[in-house]
Amino acid sequence: MGAMYERLSMEWWWATFARTWAHSSTTLAYQNTLSALRSILVAGLTTRLLYPFFGCLGPRLHIPLEYSSYLIERGQLELAVETIEQGKVLIWSEMFGLRSSTRQLRRANPNLADRLAHFTQALEAINTPISADQGGPDAFSPAFEELQRLLEGRQEVIQKIRALQGFANFMKANTFRTLQFAAAQGPIIIINHCHWRCDVLIVLHDSSPSLIPTNEGLYERANTRNDSGVDSRQYEKELLQELGIPKQSRIWWYPTSVFCSLPLHAMGPRYFSDIYSRASPKPDPQLSLLLVAQPDRSTPGVWGEMQAIQSIRIPVTVLAVVENLPNHTLAHFACHGSLGAEVPLDAAIRLYGDDRLTLRDIANLRLPPAELAFLSACHTAEPTDGDDPTEGLNIAAAMQYHGFRSMADADGRDISEPFYEHLLARGSESHDVPLGERSARALRDAVRRLRKRKDITVGRWANWVH
């Protein structure tokens, strides 16, 4: 793995110098650097101390964002969107790629399916700690030599699979056309940030991405608007209309880098006050709810929250979490949460006594019917580290990438009761609407009700994130 680290370092310096001097090899350098980073992360995912090792990588972690900014400079906006998404989900896509479903592959070529399963199981079995105190991992360790052999073998099998008819995109990043489907219910606003530049891309379902300048151009437009005396809200309204974004549209915020720590969903003006998160249409099966609650003196509102949910007569099951979570469409957690300060995979929802449901536990689950997770627990959607280029290793991200398409990070009865009342109301909204869409509207209405109270500050209602 030491060789991987050295390769990544050299590729990154190549990309940096090539871009600085506008060399023709810049694109190739970035592509090689991204490939090297992926190899490092796949290797790191088989270890416990992945994040301490991130300290050794430094600015190299931002390679996907840097490459995306370069593509934006060159006007390749669709490829930039693909690269941002690829980098943002790099850890999760590789983690679940190790356990990806191979049913279709097994029907087409059982031998390759068995070989892929062999390397997958071998990689998952490795648990070699990485030292963050050294300049890089030990390149001469027998364990890392074995890891290198397994990674190369797995990649060789994947290449053979991609040569099969119908498997050309096996375990590859999604294309822009595929990603564009997510904007069918409203625009996606991407904020890409790195030391080179900062850009905002707006993705619509029926056109190429729109680039919103955030440097000199932004200030020039702002000054022009102010000099002309145009009303700020009127200007923004006209801009949204120009982009074809109607009022009350569903909006997906897609931040990167330091913007992941900002409460973008709570920003003004009022036109933007009704903001949703990402969801994907999916058939609405018979709903069942797993309720996990752990009340104590520091969380006195949990009992009231439980009673509020049960009063709506939802079939509730309070059982062993790991055994029952795969069997339910909805999961509601009302308990404490904690961050993994040194190892984000140890971020957890605290259960009875010393028991904890960790991010690592969730990553090892398979949740076929998952639809909605309501996290009434602190720190569950909190970003892990400012140097983390991905969407973040936290409980909310783990739930989402396991199939819980919609997330609500919450705290208390005041939201739970109106949320479930709206979610399960009959007649007011067709149940043909996907659960993710209904839950977004339910949370919006619950937050609106909360905001009407005079004692509610911005800091309280802004905590609710879908």
| Domain harbouring 444, CATH code | 3.40.50
One domain, residues 310 and 246: no
Instruction: Give the model's pLDDT for residue 17.
Output: 95
Most confident of 65-69, 250-254, 433-437: 65-69
The last residue of one of the domains, among 139, 162, 185, is: 162
The answer on pLDDT for 165 being more than 80 is: yes
Specify the range with the lowest mean pLDDT, choosing from 20-34, 99-113, 144-158, 241-255. 241-255
Greater model confidence, 154 or 228? 154
Does residue 167 belong to any structural domain of this protein? no
One domain, residues 399 and 318: yes
Average pLDDT estimate for 274-288: 40
Pairing between β-strand 316-317 and β-strand 289-293 as defined by DSSP bridges: parallel
User: Could you tell me the pLDDT band of residue 149, with boundaries at 50, 70 and 90?
Assistant: confident
The last residue of one of the domains, among 127, 162, 197, is: 162
Which domain does 119 fall in, by range? 2-162
Instruction: Give the model's pLDDT for residue 257.
Output: 79
The pLDDT tens digits of the residues spanning 358-373 come to 776 776 666 666 667 7
One domain, residues 158 and 183: no
Greater model confidence, 61 or 107? 107
Specify the range with the lowest mean pLDDT, choosing from 13-27, 223-237, 278-292, 447-461. 278-292
The answer on pLDDT for 79 being more than 90 is: yes
CA distances from 456 to 209, 414, 449, 460, 463 (A): 38, 11, 10, 6, 12
Average pLDDT estimate for 193-216: 84
One domain, residues 212 and 356: no
Question: How many domains does the chain divide into?
Answer: 3
One domain, residues 380 and 445: yes
Instruction: Give the model's pLDDT for residue 284.
Output: 44
Does residue 278 belong to any structural domain of this protein? no
Instruction: Give the model's pLDDT for residue 303.
Output: 47
One domain, residues 152 and 221: no
End-to-end CA gap in the chain: 39
d(CA 27, CA 6): 20
What percent of the chain is predicted at pLDDT more than 70? Answer: 46
The last residue of one of the domains, among 227, 243, 262, is: 262
Does residue 420 belong to any structural domain of this protein? yes
d(CA 339, CA 358): 10
Residue 185: which of 255, 248, 266, 256 has the closest Cα?
Answer: 248
Average pLDDT taken over every residue of the chain: 69
Contact in structure between 105 and 193 (CB atoms under 8 Å): no
One domain, residues 181 and 219: yes
Most confident of 189-203, 353-367, 416-430, 442-456: 189-203
Instruction: Give the model's pLDDT for residue 264.
Output: 65
User: Could you tell me the pLDDT band of residue 184, with boundaries at 50, 70 and 90?
Assistant: confident
Instruction: Give the model's pLDDT for residue 59.
Output: 66
The answer on pLDDT for 108 being more than 80 is: yes
One domain, residues 185 and 84: no
The answer on pLDDT for 137 being more than 90 is: no
Instruction: Give the model's pLDDT for residue 106.
Output: 85
Average pLDDT estimate for 254-258: 80
Most confident of 229-233, 295-299, 362-366, 391-395: 362-366
Token readout for 335 is 């308990």
One domain, residues 304 and 254: no
Does residue 466 belong to any structural domain of this protein? no
Count of alpha carbons within 13 Å of 313, Cβ hemisphere only? 1
Instruction: Give the model's pLDDT for residue 449.
Output: 80
Instruction: Give the model's pLDDT for residue 133.
Output: 41
Contact in structure between 154 and 123 (CB atoms under 8 Å): yes
d(CA 119, CA 151): 8
255 φ/ψ angles, rounded to the nearest 5 degrees: -85, 160
Pairing between β-strand 330-334 and β-strand 289-293 as defined by DSSP bridges: parallel
One domain, residues 13 and 152: yes
Instruction: Give the model's pLDDT for residue 163.
Output: 92
One domain, residues 150 and 74: yes
Average pLDDT estimate for 175-186: 83
Average pLDDT estimate for 133-150: 61
The answer on pLDDT for 460 being more than 80 is: no
The pLDDT tens digits of the residues spanning 380-438 come to 556 555 445 444 566 666 666 555 555 555 445 677 777 777 776 655 455 567 777 77
Instruction: Give the model's pLDDT for residue 281.
Output: 36
Instruction: Give the model's pLDDT for residue 167.
Output: 86
One domain, residues 100 and 8: yes
181 φ/ψ angles, rounded to the nearest 5 degrees: -60, -30
Token readout for 462 is 């802004």
